Amino acid sequence: MWLNFGSFMMIWVLLILLLLSDKNNNVEGLGVNWGTQANHKLPPNTVVQMLKDNGIQKVKLFDADESTLSAFSGTNIEVMVAIPNGDLVAMLDYKRARKWVEKNVTRYHFKGGVNIKYVAVGNEPFLKSYNGTFENATFPALKNIQNALNEAGVGDTVKATVPLNADVYESPQGNPLPSAGRFRGDVADLMTQMVQFMSQNNAPFSVNIYPFLSLYGNPGFPVDYAFFDGGAVPIADNGIQYTNVFDANFDTLVSALKAAGFGDMPIIVGEVGWPTDGDINANVNNAIRFYRGLLPRLAANTGTPLRPGNIDMYLFGLLDEDAKSVAPGSFERHWGIFRYDGQPKFPMDLSGQNRDVYLVGAKNVKYLEKQWCEYNPNAKDTSKLMDNINFACTFADCTPLGYGSSCQNMDTNGNNSYAFNVYFQTQNQNLEACNFQGLARLTMQNISTPTCNFLVQIASSGLRVRTAVPVAFSLITASLYLFFYI
Ligand SMILES: *[C@@H]1O[C@H](CO)[C@@H](O)[C@H](O)[C@H]1NC(C)=O
Ligand SMILES: *[C@@H]1O[C@H](CO)[C@@H](O)[C@H](O)[C@H]1NC(C)=O
Ligand SMILES: *[C@@H]1O[C@H](CO)[C@@H](O)[C@H](O)[C@H]1NC(C)=O
Ligand SMILES: *[C@@H]1O[C@H](CO)[C@@H](O)[C@H](O)[C@H]1NC(C)=O
Ligand SMILES: *[C@@H]1O[C@H](CO)[C@@H](O)[C@H](O)[C@H]1NC(C)=O
């Protein structure tokens, strides 16, 4: 039978659609965390385009910044907005909570607006190291926000949840098995009440699980147990063989929920990932190994022994953030699957097939000039060198210089140059920032080494890219120049 022209065209259209959909055939339920604690930020539109180019459908934010949210307009990407811990107390006032919802959720709730799906109330507010600071505010804030969402008529589609650290549950010392999981003693009652409230509102439990931190925090931790390739000695629990800490951790939560009477509560993993610098175990090879285990499991809806099936997960994180606190460790600034400039760091296949492909990088990124600041080995007076290095590393990110990190193998001059350059770049290549009491000089040579990237910063949104710096300029120009660029 002959096809007429119409059906012939139809088949072509179907084929093309098939090809297009295959390109973005990403793991269902896969999201990313987009944190913005960076000295130089990519423009929100650039980042959102990058998400689209990679077929990423879900994003978790750490605030509800207007310019960020505007960039999501009309994209249909699912967004989780957030109330930072510091703002929780304010939400104890119901009127305030209602205003928050009005301004940061319902305002975007229209056709062609932003597809807001969750409000994260706080960020790991019960973390042990916070010593209970947010313990009293979190649950009332959660209630006020969900009630305000319900009152505004969006509660059916927008759910409030509290992204918690995995340290809110544990197994007892004597019986460290997933099946023995319970909520941590000091927050157990609170957790039970919160879970009950979220359950009534059909909101999911949200937890951050970090196999990297298990390894980082415990010198005796079996390395293979942090990954998914089955190399670890299994831990047996009621006939289940656990071969990775992610499953064991997740199922500890499932058991804790069950013990609290909410064994079927949906769980989303708010953060999971592996850093690439700042620690001996934080490197590209380990990150590749981790994601090559994680992504196919997501694609196959493997789930965990106690919760087989699809698990929604948000990778942590999208971009490196060079202004994050390093209190938890130097790795904290290197969680990105993309570098600071939106370029992919390593091969990664979001469809879970482990093909040797790279993510699509940010497009049309504007960089500062190709120039670097380096230590001047001819400097005569080096007595102030340490002071200057300390200064540079206080205001810029020197974590790649640390033990086990990408720049640890340089000589002293290389160390000095790294610190001077990263400060100079952080200061938008302001020439004043490459002096260091005569210890530094400008260079047009890329002084990177094979493992250590001496970066050239991106031009911040809103900052004009300077094309040339006048060699001689009048005092007035100079002072104006300083006025505008410092
Ligand atoms: C909306 O969110 C932004 C960013 O997180 C916050 O600064 C602002 O206070 C919120 N608006 C209201 C009315 O609470
Ligand atoms: C929590 O307590 C410890 C030990 O007393 C202290 O070192 C730390 O600074 C406290 N943290 C906060 C956030 O209060
Ligand atoms: C939380 O409330 C309890 C009981 O009212 C009080 O004892 C405790 O000091 C409060 N904690 C904080 C951090 O405010
Ligand atoms: C370079 O700096 C790092 C980090 O500050 C330090 O551990 C290392 O010893 C330094 N190397 C030299 C040769 O000074
Ligand atoms: C500098 O060299 C490094 C290593 O060869 C390279 O990765 C980087 O892209 C270069 N930087 C610039 C701005 O060209």
| 376: in domain | yes
- Give the number of whichever ligand sits closest to the CA of residue 145: 1
Same domain, 247 and 203: yes
| 14: in domain | no
Same domain, 115 and 50: yes
Element (H, E) at 159: strand 159-161
CB 82 within 8 A of CB 126: no
Q: CB within 8 A of 287, min separation 6: which ones?
A: 273, 274, 275, 276, 337, 345, 346
CA of 407 to the centre of ligand 2 (A): 32
Region of poorest pLDDT, from 26-35, 165-174, 315-324? 26-35
Q: How far, in Å, CA of 156 to CA of 294, rounded?
A: 31
User: Helix, strand, or coil here: 2?
Assistant: coil
Does 316 score more than 50 pLDDT?
Answer: yes
pLDDT at 27: 78
The CATH number of the domain where 123 resides is what? Answer: 3.20.20.80
CA of 454 to the centre of ligand 5 (A): 7
CA of 125 to the centre of ligand 2 (A): 14
CA of 257 to the centre of ligand 1 (A): 32
Q: What is the DSSP letter of 438?
A: T
Closest atom of ligand 4 relative to the 403 alpha carbon: 7
Same domain, 40 and 107: yes
Average pLDDT value for residue range 290-313: 97
pLDDT at 475: 33
Ligand 3, atom 7: closest residue by C-alpha? 136
The tokens for 95 are 């009127």
What is the end-to-end Cα distance of the chain in Å, rounded?
Answer: 75
CA distances from residue 44 to 48, 67, 72, 84 in whole angstroms, order as listed:
6, 7, 9, 19
Does 17 score more than 60 pLDDT?
Answer: no
Nearest to 396 by CA among 336, 450, 333, 353: 333
Q: Which mutation among 136, 138, 139, 190 tests ligand 3's pocket best, with the greatest number of atoms within 8 A of CB?
A: 136
State the pLDDT confidence band at 465, using cuts at 50, 70 and 90. Answer: very low
State the pLDDT confidence band at 230, using cuts at 50, 70 and 90. Answer: confident
Same domain, 32 and 150: yes
Same domain, 61 and 161: yes
Nearest to 162 by CA among 207, 132, 101: 207
Same domain, 317 and 399: no
- Give the number of whichever ligand sits closest to the CA of residue 102: 1
Where b means 16+ CB within 10 Å and e means fewer, 350-380 reads: bbbebeeeebbebeeeeebeebbbbbbeebe
The tokens for 188 are 């157990």
**Residue positions annotated with a catalytic role:** 124, 271
Average pLDDT value for residue range 346-352: 97
The tokens for 44 are 């929100």
Q: How many CB atoms lie within 10 A of CB 322?
A: 22
Q: What is the DSSP letter of 127?
A: -
| 480: in domain | no
CB 290 within 8 A of CB 315: no
The CATH number of the domain where 451 resides is what? Answer: 1.20.58.1040
Listing DSSP states for 440-452 in one string gives EEEESS----SS-
Same domain, 320 and 421: no
Closest atom of ligand 3 relative to the 136 alpha carbon: 1
Does 471 score more than 60 pLDDT?
Answer: no
pLDDT digits (tens, 9 = 90+) for 99-118: 999 999 999 999 999 999 99
Same domain, 168 and 110: yes
Average pLDDT value for residue range 426-445: 97
Angle of helix 94-104 relative to helix 135-151, nearest 10 degrees, comes to 60
State the pLDDT confidence band at 6, using cuts at 50, 70 and 90. Answer: low
Does 7 score more than 70 pLDDT?
Answer: no
- Number of residues that make up the chain: 486
The residue assigned the tokens 């932003």 is 114
The domain boundary residue, chosen from 312, 333, 354: 333
Closest atom of ligand 3 relative to the 131 alpha carbon: 13
CB 363 within 8 A of CB 50: yes
Centroid of chain to Cα 466? 30
Q: CB within 8 A of 144, min separation 6: which ones?
A: 91, 92, 93, 94, 97, 98
Q: How far, in Å, CA of 71 to CA of 76, rounded?
A: 11
Q: What is the DSSP letter of 392?
A: H
| 347: in domain | no
State the pLDDT confidence band at 29, using cuts at 50, 70 and 90. Answer: confident
Pocket around ligand 2 at a 6 A CB cut-off:
129-131, 133
The residue assigned the tokens 């706080």 is 122
Q: How many CB atoms lie within 10 A of CB 153?
A: 11
Same domain, 163 and 239: yes
Does 25 score more than 80 pLDDT?
Answer: no
Same domain, 316 and 441: no
| 35: in domain | yes
CB 204 within 8 A of CB 146: no
Same domain, 378 and 321: no
Domains: count for the chain: 2
- Give the number of whichever ligand sits closest to the CA of residue 186: 3
Residue ranges of alpha helices (H) inside 24-61 are 44-53
Residue ranges of alpha helices (H) inside 90-178 are 94-104, 135-151
| 484: in domain | no
pLDDT at 15: 56
User: Helix, strand, or coil here: 43?
Assistant: coil
Q: How far, in Å, CA of 229 to CA of 360, rounded?
A: 26
State the pLDDT confidence band at 4, using cuts at 50, 70 and 90. Answer: low
Q: How many CB atoms lie within 10 A of CB 18?
A: 10
Does 462 score more than 60 pLDDT?
Answer: no
- Which range of residues forms the domain containing residue 424? 366-467
Pocket around ligand 3 at a 6 A CB cut-off:
132-133, 135-136
pLDDT at 482: 34
Q: What is the DSSP letter of 436?
A: T
The domain boundary residue, chosen from 282, 312, 333: 333
For residue 346, which amino acid is it? F
pLDDT at 187: 98
| 33: in domain | yes
For residue 171, which amino acid is it? S
Does 5 score more than 70 pLDDT?
Answer: no
For residue 341, which amino acid is it? D
Nearest to 368 by CA among 43, 35, 40: 40
Same domain, 318 and 415: no
Region of poorest pLDDT, from 152-156, 345-349, 467-471? 467-471
Average pLDDT value for residue range 151-155: 98
Average model confidence (pLDDT) for the chain?
91
State the pLDDT confidence band at 28, using cuts at 50, 70 and 90. Answer: confident
CA of 193 to the centre of ligand 1 (A): 27
Angle at 35 between CA 67 and CA 56, to 5 degrees: 85
Question: Which value, to the nearest 10 degrees, does the dihedral of the CA atoms of residues 298, 302, 305, 307 take?
Answer: 70
Average pLDDT value for residue range 264-292: 98
| 149: in domain | yes
Is 453's C-beta closer than 6 angstroms to any atom of ligand 5? Answer: yes
Nearest to 236 by CA among 298, 307, 175, 297: 175
Average pLDDT value for residue range 52-70: 97
Does 26 score more than 90 pLDDT?
Answer: no
Pocket around ligand 1 at a 6 A CB cut-off:
63-65, 99-100, 103-104
